[in-house]
Amino acid sequence: MNILDKIVADKRKEVDLKKSLIPVSQLENSVLFSRQTVSLSNALRNSSSGIIAEHKRRSPSKSEINQGLNVQDVATGYENAGVCGMSVLTDGKYFGGSLDDLILARAAVQMPLLRKEFIINEFQILEAKAHGADVILLIAAILSKEEIKTFSELAKSLGLDVLLEVHNEAELHKSIMPSLDMLGVNNRNLKTFEVSLETSKLLSQLIPDEFVKVSESGISSIEAIKDLKPYGYQGFLIGENFMKTDNPGASAKEFINQLSELRPNSNG
Cα(214)–Cα(223) distance, integer angstroms: 16
| Dihedrals phi, psi of 114, to nearest 5 degrees | -100, 125
Cα(264)–Cα(255) distance, integer angstroms: 16
64 forms bridges with which residues in the sheet? 58
Cα(119)–Cα(148) distance, integer angstroms: 10
Query: Which residue blocks in the chain are alpha helix, DSSP H?
Result: 3-21, 24-28, 40-45, 71-81, 99-108, 122-130, 145-157, 169-175, 198-204, 222-228, 240-243, 248-262
Active site residues: 54, 56, 116, 165, 186, 216-217
Would you give the DSSP letter of residue 264? G
- Residues with Cβ within 8 Å of residue 197, at least 6 apart in sequence: 187, 215, 218, 219, 224, 227, 228
Q: How many residues comprise the chain?
A: 268
Q: Is 223 exposed, middle or buried (0-12, 13-18, 19+ CB in 10 A)?
A: exposed
Q: How many helices, marked H, and strands, marked E, lie in the chain?
A: 12, 10
Cα(60)–Cα(2) distance, integer angstroms: 11
Paired sense of beta strands 58-59 and 63-64, if any: antiparallel
